[in-house]
Amino acid sequence: MISIIMTQQGNQLDAGVRQRAFAFLSKITTDDTTPGLHIEPIVGSRDPRVRTGRVDQQYRAVLFKLTSGADTTYVFHGVWNHDDAIAVAQRAELRVNPVNGMPEIRDVEDERALAGVRIAPQGPRESSPWGPTPGTPDAERVQINATHDQLVDVLGLPGPVADAVLAATNDEELEAAGANGPAWQRNALVGLGAGMSVDEVLADLGLVPGAAALPAGPASDEDLLRSLDQPAASIEFARIDGVDELRRVIESGDFGAWRVFLHPQQRRFAEQRTNGAFRLSGGAGTGKTVVLLHRAKRLLDADDQSRLVLTTYTVNLATAMSRDLARLDPGLARAAALGERGAHVAGIDAIARQVLRSAGPDVRHAVEQVLGVGHAEITRPTPHTAWRDALSAAGGPLPERLRSAHFFSSEYERVILPAHITTRDDYLRARRPGRGVRLTRAERAAVWQVVEAYRLSSRMGGTIDFQEAATIAAVHLERLAAEGGGRLADHVLVDEGQDMTPAHWQLARALVSEGPDDLFIAEDSHQRIYGNRLTLSRYGIAIRGRSRRLTLNYRTTAQNLHYAVTILAGGSYEDLEAEPESTDGYRSARTGPQPVLRGFPSLTEELDFAASTITGWRDDLNGDQLDTIAVLVRDSRQRDLVVTGLGDRGVEVRAVDRDQPRPGLPVVMTMHRAKGTEFAKVLLFGISAGSVPMPLREYETSDEDLADAMLRERSLLYVAASRARDELVVTWSGEPSALVGRA
């Protein structure tokens, strides 16, 4: 049998080479002696395992051939022009790190160049790794919590790399020390630069000191194959199963790397068993959704009869997860409806509608428990103006400070529905934790009058709102389970949990019985752009002691990440257990250019700059993958203005609303719509005072509501900035937003 192991280097192919590389590798998996492939050793190569193969007359591939019994494995290093490929093959070596047992592809010329660098003596830095080098200000040094011996003998860095690490005076020099090394080494240096100890770095990579080390001497093919199967090897090496998977990996390129290259932390959370509800937090780009998708596959691979629900707050995110799950494994069992075996992917409100449709007449019991009376029709949504109409009809006794549709929708969502309050007396006695708005008894009575008007209008109009639907669905499912009807799911995986409401959490809890691998929740309080803060334990979901955090960003460059985090400065964030959440420890494995921040006197000049920026990006990409360019704006009005303005300047772009981005053109979308996406190059347009944050008069009922609304505005801009993988540009006309941050 012949198999292919893809490397990250090999995965980064130019668009013009991808199809030819696929044809070449697919032929190898069938028969590596096929005429025309010319799989040949290289005279004078450093590694006897290295081979080159003919992709076409211009290009050759570089591979390493490993054999075990009758099986052959090719490690695909990449494709180069003919002469360059020969030079790469002569210098490259696939080996096992003698200290940590990790597989590595090393270039002899890179090592010689690094070894030739003269490193200044470090003096007391060797014996006191936390102390500064004499003559260098503390603020200018990278504080490495390790000695040279620890870096070399415990972590496994080459001596010259360890010297360069300890001599680094800034992050750029630290990055340069490992720039040409293997992926595990680059990840390790990012951790060291963030203040981690050597032991913490090893634990982060899933490596046990000395456990995988080999005796002196060259590694055998068997040694290499074992090293390639280590969990930590998945950062850079991935075994490809079949021609179809090979095609998907090559065609998706670096944007599809999440499907095949996993950090050990990601793999650990995707594969581990849990004894109850589990929460995985982490900043934007840390791979929470990736973990969820791989976990869904792992659970279904382990039991193809299980019923798995993968859900989230918005329809667009649910659609994207469904698409990405198919990309991860097209053969994975999919369930068309709740209760069927396989993976059912849907937004949480769509799940509520399914439950209500399938309930039939029996749902009346749940309706009466939640709303107090029966309901003639529960399939039409309540109009967005319903609370304003109720205020006009019954809000006369209210003080002016409470005449807010936002206050009422929040009170209804957070107090009345979760407690199934159906009478005035129940509301007068109800606890209102976390509301931040004190109400006298008379004010409560006046509030309840408006609630009754709202409910009466809904009954007369035959409508129901989304929060009512989710609450009723949860009550119906709990009743069925209590009567012995069982649950609709064996596993529920929730993405973007920070945006879910109390009704949504009650529904998620009602879908699955408490037990092993029941609920797995991915969330980031810094990305909460919809709902209010809440505590999961109030809704029957206990996660204390079963909560972990991802801190390594795989999407965004260190420069873009730093900028995005500055936007959050000044805000106070809490997780789903009301514990403080910070950005401490967030770090990126990638670097790039500094974000560009530009202000302009007028909208016309801002649009001119946007047109020239996108034109330059388009030229850089040579017309390939133009949909990886995005312009993000505050609202749909601004989106349409930008699309028209760029079109007038000869720059064709595509507005994206509810639909999914399609290949062919740069896209323009709102910041809310951009949630869950990523792009190579991002322009944040119109970040002006009055646009971000939006006017917050609706939230002035209390200082707490106003502060929370401002947090969501910060989070929205943070979400938008963190969509950029490589390049980020931020523009405004007139006065800049107070939240614009600093590069």
Averaging pLDDT over each range in 129-133, 136-140, 260-264, 403-407, which range is the top one?
403-407
Helix (H) or strand (E) holding 104: strand 103-107
Looking at residue 141, its pLDDT comes to 53
Q: 182-186, 373-377, 510-514: lowest mean pLDDT where?
A: 373-377
Q: Please, where are the H alpha helices in 272-417?
A: 288-302, 315-328, 348-359, 364-371, 386-394, 405-411
Same fold, 2-98+219-259 and 564-733: no
Mean local confidence (pLDDT), 382-390 = 94
Q: Is the peptide bond before 502 cis (omega within 30 degrees of 0)?
A: no
Mean local confidence (pLDDT), 649-678 = 92
Residue 127 has pLDDT above 60, yes or no: no
pLDDT tens readout for residues 585-619: 888 888 899 999 999 999 999 999 999 999 999 99
Domain ranges of the chain: 2-98+219-259, 108-204, 264-358+470-550, 379-461, 564-733
Looking at residue 128, its pLDDT comes to 28
Classify strands 342-347 and 307-312 as parallel, antiparallel or unpaired: parallel
Looking at residue 133, its pLDDT comes to 35
Q: Which residue has the higher pLDDT, 245 or 104?
A: 104
Q: 112-126, 182-196, 425-439, 611-625: lowest mean pLDDT where?
A: 112-126
Give every CB contact of residue 645 below 8 A, 6+ residues apart in sequence.
Answer: 603, 607, 610, 611
Closest CA to 499 of 474, 524, 518, 462: 524
Q: Place 379 in a pLDDT band, splitting at 50, 70 and 90.
A: low
Contact call for residues 41 and 54 (beta carbons, < 8 A): no
Q: Place 244 in a pLDDT band, splitting at 50, 70 and 90.
A: confident
Q: Place 131 in a pLDDT band, splitting at 50, 70 and 90.
A: very low
Q: 56-65, 333-342, 537-546, 681-690: lowest mean pLDDT where?
A: 537-546
Average pLDDT, the chain: 89
Q: 317-326, 377-386, 559-568, 717-726: lowest mean pLDDT where?
A: 377-386
pLDDT tens readout for residues 328-372: 888 999 999 999 999 999 999 999 999 999 998 889 999 999 999
Q: Which residue has the higher pLDDT, 217 or 289?
A: 289
Cα(77)–Cα(68) distance, integer angstroms: 20
564-733 classified as CATH 3.50.50.60: no
CATH pick for 2-98+219-259 out of 3.30.2310.20, 3.40.50.720, 2.60.40.10, 3.40.50.2300: 3.30.2310.20
Looking at residue 138, its pLDDT comes to 44
Of all residues in the chain, the percent with pLDDT exceeding 70 is 93
264-358+470-550 classified as CATH 3.40.50.300: yes
Give every CB contact of residue 246 below 8 A, 6+ residues apart in sequence.
Answer: 4, 6, 22, 25, 26, 29, 240
**HEC secondary structure over 392-459:** HHHCCCCCHHHCCHHHHHHHHHHHHCCCCCCCHHHHHHCCCCCCCCCCCHHHHHHHHHHHHHHHHHHH
Residue 377 has pLDDT above 80, yes or no: no
| Token pair recorded at residue 326 | 């198919």
Total count of residues recorded for the chain: 743
pLDDT tens readout for residues 547-592: 999 999 988 999 999 999 999 987 889 888 888 888 888 888 888 9
| Token pair recorded at residue 723 | 């969509």
Q: 231-235, 506-510, 522-526, 725-729: lowest mean pLDDT where?
A: 231-235
Mean local confidence (pLDDT), 238-259 = 78
Looking at residue 113, its pLDDT comes to 56
